[in-house]
């Protein structure tokens, strides 16, 4: 057992702490090339990561950088700096700790490169930028350890892919560098260990004592949840009662728009004026920091929030977590619950509030999964190639490189360990020549091969453009919102450009919990004024709608199979019993389809339980198949568990609709012109360096002269459909929003076991679908027709004569 220096023991003793077993284990295994620690929040995880560093630096002097700490959030880096400074100061250690993020002043950044601190706290993007400088070998000389915090969050994103590529680079510079990962509870620790370690090195996993099981329940209310919707407004009185009973409550929502609406509604009902704040990623930084500080001071009784509070910053004494709406994913739920009670060995307390009747079933299924300790997760797919292209450009910024060496280095990254040479070469060719079938850029290659075979940038000034565009986070086009004042009013936050475009002066919407009136657009800023109204239009913040996980969907199907439902509230049990009486309930391994007339249209409900994204894709494909089969579909709507299709003719023989080969063919043709593909292309092309978000020229002129990425997509599709960017787009779309894998799984699971039930009227299970929003019309000339109507209306309103074409 490795002994801590005496002053560490003394310091622990003055705090009345003992070294946790997992902290000791981290010390004992400090020489492991890679080590993953899985510990619950509040388990002294970060200290466990830093103890070996502090002990080493306390006993042997070190010149230059010793440990690099990477976290997904700038705020977390700042938080850790504070938390480390205390023990360092109290133990009188001579250790320099600094953070480096996008917010760090340029002068300090320059100094850090010349004279790095012992411990540098940073983010994946800032690290990638550091590795792009030619002095990186000097800066990182002597680096012994890398600590990746909240690795479970990074491992699931392109930010993580970029980070691990950068670590491979550092490992080449510092072959003895040890890697440590710190993770919250996850379903598949081995998968995280795989991305952390240098492939194929082993990576052991340390599991800390998970602590007592959480105290987690569904909130029961006098009023039954509504049939549809996702706001959870009905439960506000009960939630207010819970807030009163606790010190600080976090109220989690799945989307920002829901959080805004909920915050508005809870204040309308907040008769005791309990101090309640709101926190989400679209709010202005200053506003967010205010809420964070108020929270740390303990001034707030509750915070309405979204995933922006998911990660492990210590926000003070939270003793209750409330999740509004079904959690969709058991793992995220468990991690959110971990936000309550940061004291080790005290159970976290959490309440689930189903937003509608169906979510009651989903919440109960999620509770079962938490009790059984069964987390869910989708298998990790191979490392994305758009990030790889950016990495090649970053590598070129640092100086000439050899393609074979770079390929070997990339293959040492877990996510890219299966990368083929051909796929790598395509990316290299893309970075060098654009990779087009028409070899147009011979004269203007981005990368040139030198006589010795290594690659370098043609124009060294290109480093500036590349560095300005490092990163994988996609900001959708958002506009800043400000109060209208003579000299630029208070910034409130951001809204999507698409939403802003639907506003006309006088329209109202919610932001930061207040209703504001749209006044106009000035220099790409939305100007608003305060509004006393009661009914706002709601800001539609972009952002992923989470799909219900595979495991949770399976659990719901199994719950349906019970003879009775004593574990469900009466209203929900009765609803399911009625469905079983008039039709039947969906079963695992079978596919239930209901067909019934309603409102003069033939309706078809398909209970696929494949999650929102896959069901949306299936809806598009099925309506396309129905169109081909002459069933005249008019539109559809998808939820996590079902698709409702309406049209002129009923489905009588469902089998041909679900022919997987026909669906796959349909996917290929449909995908090409699809908005999802265009959105994915935009993201991937930006990461790969084909589209530049930031240019020096743009900074100068302030106006953007770029054309839309859709045009680039259409052009490639028309003239060069086999281009590597088109392949990358397809790869990314398939794993993301299209989620075709889950459709294939579903069709395979079901086999031919499709049950078509024809009914005279809407069935109990289908009824809530009619109340859901998000109807998708089956397109065609529909858009032109709408546009013609609108143009005529606008001309008439303006008193201008209609023009015939």
Partner 1 sequence: MNGCAAQLNQARLTALGSGALWWADQSLLCVSDLHLGKSDRMARRTGVQVPPYDTRDTLLRLSQDLDRTAPRTVVCLGDSFDDLAAAGALSEDNRLWITKLQAGRKWIWIEGNHDPGSIDLGGTHMDSYTLAGITFRHIANPDERDEISGHYHPKVQVALRGRVISRAAFLMDSLRLIMPAYGTYTGGLRTTDPVITALMASDATAIMTGPVPHRVPMPR
Nearest CA-CA partner of 253 in 301, 302, 303, 305: 305
Tell me the CA distances in angstroms from 739 to 90, 330, 550, 636, 676, one per residue in order. Answer: 52, 19, 12, 18, 11
Residue in this structure with the two tokens 């910034």, named with its chain if needed: 491
Yes or no: say if 394 and 470 are a contact pair by the CB < 8 Å rule.
yes
Beta bridge partners of 622: none
Q: Which helix (H) or strand (E) holds 13?
A: helix 6-15
Nearest approach, Cβ of residue 698 and partner 1 (Å): 11
Give least dist CB 325 to partner 1, A: 22
Nearer to partner 1 by Cβ, of 1 and 781: the residue is: 781
Residue 401 CB, shortest distance to partner 1, in Å, is 17
Binding site for partner 1 (CB under 8 A): 433-434, 436, 438, 440-441, 443-444, 446, 457-459, 462, 465, 498, 501-502, 504, 521, 689-692, 695, 704-708, 711-712, 715-716, 718-720, 723, 783-784, 786-788, 790-791, 794-795, 797-798, 800, 803-805
Distance of CA 447 to the CA centre of its chain: 33
Query: DSSP H helical segments within 115-203, as ranges?
Result: 124-131, 136-139, 151-154, 158-173, 189-196
Smallest gap from residue 526 Cβ to partner 1 (A): 12
Pairing of strands 119-122, 97-100: parallel
Give the span between the Cα atoms of 553 and 73, in whole angstroms.
31
> 89 or 794: whose CB is closer to partner 1?
794
Nearer to partner 1, 18 or 795 (CB): 795
Give the angle 152-694-444 at the CA atoms, nearest 5°: 110
Minimum distance from CB of 712 to partner 1 (Å)? 6
Which two three-digit tokens encode residue 390?
A: 């950016």
Q: 298: buried, middle or exposed (CB in 10 Å: 19+, 13-18, 0-12)?
A: exposed
Residue 524: CB minimum distance to partner 1, A: 10
Q: State the minimum distance, in angstroms, from the CB of residue 232 to partner 1.
A: 23
Q: Report, in angstroms and rounded to the nearest whole number, the Rg of the chain calculated over CA atoms.
A: 28
Q: Which is nearer to partner 1, 564 or 804 (CB)?
A: 804
CA 161 from chain center: how many Å? 14
- Identify which of residues 433 and 454 has a Cβ nearer to partner 1 in the complex: 433
Smallest separation (angstroms) from partner 1 to the CB of 715:
5
Residue closer to partner 1 (CB basis): 498 or 673:
498
744's tokens = 């294939």
Q: Shortest Cβ distance from residue 692 to partner 1 (Å)?
A: 6
For residues 615 and 638, the answer to whether their CB atoms sit within 8 Å is yes
Query: For partner 1, which is the closer residue by CB, 660 or 795?
Result: 795
> Which residues pair with residue 516 across a beta bridge?
509, 530
Minimum gap (Å) between residue 499 Cβ and partner 1: 9
Which pair of structure tokens corresponds to residue 589? Answer: 């391994």
* CB of 8 closer than 8 Å to CB of 91: yes
Residue 350 or 393: which CB sits closer to partner 1?
A: 393
For 527, list phi and psi in degrees, rounded to 5.
Answer: -100, 135
Q: Are 635 and 667 in contact (CB under 8 A)?
A: no
Closest CA to 316 of 500, 42, 60: 42
- In the complex with partner 1, which residue's Cβ is closer, 622 or 726? 726
Residue 487 pairs in a beta bridge with none
Judged by beta carbon, residue 62 or residue 537, the one nearer partner 1 is: 537
CB of residue 434 vs partner 1: minimum separation in angstroms?
3
| Inter-residue contact 624 to 645 (CB < 8 Å) | no
Closest CB to partner 1 among 147 and 716?
716
Shortest Å distance, C-beta 723 to partner 1: 7
CA 358, CA 377: separation in Å to the nearest integer?
22
Inter-CA distances, 477 with 22, 157, 267, 660, 673, Å: 44, 20, 30, 36, 21
């Amino acid at each position: 057992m490795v002994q801590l220096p005496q002053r560490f023991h003394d310091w622990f003793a003055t705090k009345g702490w003992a070294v946790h077993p997992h902290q000791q284990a981290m010390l004992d295994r400090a020489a492991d090339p890679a080590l993953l620690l899985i510990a619950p929040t509040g388990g002294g995880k970060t200290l466990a990561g830093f103890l070996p560093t502090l002990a080493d630096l306390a006993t042997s002097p070190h010149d230059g950088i010793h440990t690099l700490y990477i976290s997904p959030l700038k705020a977390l880096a700042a938080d850790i700096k504070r938390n480390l400074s205390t023990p360092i100061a109290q133990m009188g250690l001579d250790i320099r700790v600094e953070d480096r993020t996008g917010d760090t002043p340029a002068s300090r950044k320059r100094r850090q490169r010349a004279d790095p601190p012992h411990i540098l706290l940073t983010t994946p993007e800032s690290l990638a930028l550091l590795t792009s400088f030619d002095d990186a070998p000097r800066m990182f000389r002597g680096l012994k350890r890398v600590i990746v915090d909240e690795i479970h969050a990074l491992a699931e994103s392109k930010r993580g892919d970029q980070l691990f590529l950068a670590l491979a680079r550092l490992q080449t510079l510092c072959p003895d560098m040890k890697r440590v990962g710190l993770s919250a509870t996850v379903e598949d620790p081995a998968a995280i260990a795989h991305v952390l370690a240098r492939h194929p090195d082993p990576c052991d996993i340390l599991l800390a004592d998970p602590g007592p099981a959480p105290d987690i329940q569904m909130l029961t209310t006098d009023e039954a949840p509504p049939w549809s919707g996702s706001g959870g407004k009905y439960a506000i009185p009960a939630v207010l009662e819970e807030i009163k009973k606790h010190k600080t409550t976090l109220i989690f929502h799945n989307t920002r728009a829901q959080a805004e609406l909920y915050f508005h509604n809870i204040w309308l009902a907040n008769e005791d004026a309990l101090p309640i704040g709101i926190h989400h990623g679209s709010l202005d930084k200053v506003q967010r920091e205010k809420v964070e500080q108020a929270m740390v001071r303990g001034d707030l009784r509750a915070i309405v929030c979204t995933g922006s509070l998911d990660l492990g910053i210590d926000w003070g004494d939270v003793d209750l977590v409330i999740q509004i709406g079904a959690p969709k994913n058991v793992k995220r739920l468990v991690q959110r619950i971990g936000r309550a009670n940061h004291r080790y060995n005290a159970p976290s307390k959490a309440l689930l509030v189903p937003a509608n009747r169906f979510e009651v079933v989903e919440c109960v299924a999620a509770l079962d999964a938490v009790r059984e300790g069964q987390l869910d997760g989708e298998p990790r797919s191979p490392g994305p190639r758009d990030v790889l292209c950016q990495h090649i450009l970053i590598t070129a910024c640092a100086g000439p490189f050899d393609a074979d060496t770079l390929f070997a280095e990339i293959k040492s990254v877990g996510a890219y360990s299966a990368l083929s040479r051909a796929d790598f070469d395509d990316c290299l060719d893309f970075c060098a020549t654009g990779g087009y079938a028409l070899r147009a850029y011979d004269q203007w290659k981005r990368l040139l091969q030198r006589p010795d075979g290594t690659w370098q940038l043609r124009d060294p000034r290109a480093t500036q453009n590349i560095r300005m565009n490092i990163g994988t986070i996609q900001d959708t086009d958002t506009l800043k919102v400000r109060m209208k004042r003579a000299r630029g009013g208070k910034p409130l936050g951001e809204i999507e450009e698409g939403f802003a475009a639907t506003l006309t002066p006088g329209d109202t919407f919610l932001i930061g919990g207040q209703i504001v009136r749209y006044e106009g657009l000035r220099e790409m800023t939305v100007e608003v004024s305060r509004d006393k109204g009661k009914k706002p239009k709601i800001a539609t913040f972009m952002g992923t709608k989470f799909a219900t996980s595979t495991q949770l969907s399976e659990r719901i199907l199994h719950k349906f199979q019970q003879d009775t439902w004593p574990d469900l509230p009466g209203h929900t049990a009765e609803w399911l019993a009625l469905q079983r009486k008039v039709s039947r309930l969906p079963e695992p391994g079978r596919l239930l389809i209901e067909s019934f007339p309603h409102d003069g249209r033939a309706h078809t409900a398909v209970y696929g339980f494949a999650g929102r994204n896959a069901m949306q894709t299936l809806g598009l494909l099925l309506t396309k198949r129905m169109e081909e089969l002459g069933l005249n579909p008019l539109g559809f709507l998808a939820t996590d568990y079902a698709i409702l299709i309406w049209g002129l003719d009923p489905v009588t023989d469902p089998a041909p609709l679900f022919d997987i080969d026909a669906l796959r063919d349909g996917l290929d043709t449909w995908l090409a012109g699809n908005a999802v593909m265009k959105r994915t292309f935009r993201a991937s092309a930006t990461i790969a360096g084909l589209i530049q978000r930031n240019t020096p020229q743009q900074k100068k002129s302030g106006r953007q002269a770029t054309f839309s990425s859709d045009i680039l997509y259409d052009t490639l599709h028309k003239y060069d459909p086999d281009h590597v960017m088109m392949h990358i787009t397809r790869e990314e779309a398939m794993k993301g929003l299209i989620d075709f894998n889950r459709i294939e799984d579903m069709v395979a699971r079901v086999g031919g076991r499709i049950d078509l039930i024809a009914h005279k009227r809407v069935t109990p299970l289908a009824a809530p679908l009619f109340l859901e929003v998000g109807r998708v019309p089956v397109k065609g000339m529909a858009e032109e027709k709408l546009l013609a109507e609108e143009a005529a209306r606008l001309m008439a309103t303006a008193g201008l004569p209609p023009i015939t074409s």
